[in-house]
């Protein structure tokens, strides 16, 4: 690696923060290490804590392009790596009916007929890129096998063209929601980062950076109430994104402090299951107005 991406942990933190992503110290440290040691970064954590957003922020912080591979059940080599453009090859063959077969054969397996999918795009890129492999747990296990070569050697072999080696080691970010246990082999190649809900003061800063017009006191009580909600046994705990949504809702309602009626009316923004809403309703005693 020629020039280090980040000079220090503080540098990583500040440059991520400049893109609007406020990282915790642990996140900044791990990102710095992933960039410095040239290792892929495997991120796990509850939904809505900013796993995917971190990859986006990383791309803008380093000024690199973000190449994204969204995994889903049944995603295969043709969707992830490369595919030959059959239709175009056929046109090429029929356009030159009398041509020499040898010429045509070498021709139709040229760059022109290659459809690069995200992984190949990342490897072939002239500029350094950030490669995001999102929700890897949704893909089948064969996909992991495909990634093993890519993640350790950063090269791709296409039988007709030969082996393509990455000019720049891409920063690879993998995210997983743990629907499936990822294989040990893959885990071993990555640095592991578990992102949890941020602590209260960080979350307050995140809320305020997204909703700058929000009153300080309101932001603080909002974050504390969300923290209390997360401690309840809910089916789906409110995510950071939902806290920010709630802050936006309260702002547009013109609220300057929390009161039971307001919370009652806007609770649907943070809680998405009826049973959760009922539980929070009882716990926060929303039918009783504020005393005094």
Partner 1 sequence: MNLPAETAETETLPARFVALGEAMRAHGMRVGTSEVTDAARVADALGFDRRERLRAGVAAAMLRRSDDRSAFDQLFDIYFPAAAGRRMTGAPAAALDADELRDRLAHALATGDLAAAEQLAAAAVELLGRVGDEAAGWSAAQTLDALAPQRAISAAEELLRGDGPGAGSGPGSGQGTGGAADADTDWAINPWDRQPRRPERFTDRVDRDQLRAGVEAFRRQVETESRRRSAEVRDRERIARLGIPPSIRQRDFLTAGSDQLHQLRRELDPLTRKLAARLTSRERAGRGAVDVRRTLRASMSTGGVPIDPVYQRRAPHRPDLVLLADLSGSVGGFSSFTMLLMQALHQHFRKVRIFGFVSSTAEITDVVRELPPGTSLTSWALSTPDLIGRGTNSNYGWALRTFVRGHLDALGRRSTVLVLGDARGNFADPNTADLHRIADRARHLTWLNPEPEVLWRQGDSAASLYGRIAPMHECRNLEQLRDFVARTLPI
Q: Which is nearer to partner 1, 125 or 204 (CB)?
A: 204
CA 94 to chain centre: 44
CA 122/CA 215 separation, integer angstroms: 43
> Beta partners for 172?
131
Touching partner 1, residues 106-145 (CB under 8 A): 140
162 Ramachandran zone, left/alpha/beta (phi>0; psi -120 to 50)? left
- Sole binder of partner 1 in the list 124, 187, 205, 264 (CB under 8 A): 187
- Minimum CB separation of residue 95 from partner 1 in Å reads 11
Q: Where are the alpha helices (DSSP H) in 83-155?
A: 86-95, 101-108, 118-124, 141-153
Token pair 């995917």 is found at 52
Q: 3-state class of 166 per DSSP?
A: coil
Count residues contacting partner 1 (CB under 8 A)? 52
- Binding part of the chain for partner 1, among 48-56, 154-162, 165-173, 186-194 by CB under 8 A, reads 186-194
Is there binding between residue 30 and partner 1 (CB under 8 A)? Answer: yes
3 lies in the binding site for partner 1 (CB under 8 A): no
Please state the φ and ψ torsions of residue 134, each to the nearest 5 degrees: -95, 140
Q: Which range touches partner 1 (CB under 8 A), out of 53-61, 109-117, 123-131, 183-191?
A: 183-191
Query: What pairs with residue 171 in β-bridges?
Result: 130
Is 92 a binding residue for partner 1 by CB under 8 A? The answer is no
Contact 139, 71 (CB under 8 A): yes
Determine the interface stretch with partner 1 among 61-69, 158-166, 206-214, 219-227 (rule: CB under 8 A).
219-227
Q: Are 50 and 240 in contact (CB under 8 A)?
A: yes
Question: Using CB under 8 A as the criterion, which residues of the chain lie in contact with partner 1 when the complex forms?
Answer: 9, 25-26, 29-30, 32-34, 36-37, 39, 44-45, 86-87, 90, 94, 140, 178-181, 184, 187-188, 191-194, 200-201, 204, 217, 220-221, 224-225, 227-228, 231, 233, 235, 257-260, 263, 284-285, 290-292
């Amino acid at each position: 690696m020629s020039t280090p991406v980040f000079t220090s942990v503080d540098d990583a933190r500040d440059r991520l923060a400049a893109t609007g992503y406020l990282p915790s110290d642990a996140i900044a440290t791990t990102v710095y290490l992933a960039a410095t040691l040239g290792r892929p970064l495997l991120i796990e954590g509850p939904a809505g804590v900013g796993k995917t957003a971190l990859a986006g922020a990383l791309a803008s912080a380093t000024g690199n392009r973000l190449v994204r591979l969204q995994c889903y059940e049944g995603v295969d080599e043709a969707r992830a790596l490369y595919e030959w453009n059959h239709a175009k090859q056929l046109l090429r063959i029929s356009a030159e009916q009398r041509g020499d077969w040898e010429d045509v054969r070498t021709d139709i397996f040229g760059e022109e007929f290659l459809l690069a999918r995200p992984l190949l795009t990342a490897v072939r890129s002239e500029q350094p890129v950030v490669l995001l492999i999102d929700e890897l747990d949704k893909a089948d296990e064969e996909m992991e096998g495909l990634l093993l070569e890519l993640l350790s050697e950063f090269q791709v072999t296409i039988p007709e063209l030969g082996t393509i080696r990455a000019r720049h080691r891409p920063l690879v970010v993998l995210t997983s929601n743990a629907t499936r246990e990822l294989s040990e082999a893959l885990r071993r190649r990555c640095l592991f980062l578990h992102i949890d809900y941020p602590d209260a003061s960080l979350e307050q800063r995140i809320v305020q950076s997204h909703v700058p017009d929000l009153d300080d006191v309101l932001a603080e009580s909002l974050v504390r109430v969300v923290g209390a909600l997360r401690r309840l046994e809910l089916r789906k705990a409110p995510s950071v994104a939902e806290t920010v949504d709630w802050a936006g809702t309260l702002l547009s309602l013109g609220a300057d402090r929390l009161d039971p009626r307001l919370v009652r009316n806007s609770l649907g923004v943070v809680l998405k299951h009826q049973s959760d809403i009922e539980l929070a309703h009882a716990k926060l005693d929303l039918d009783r107005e504020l005393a005094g």
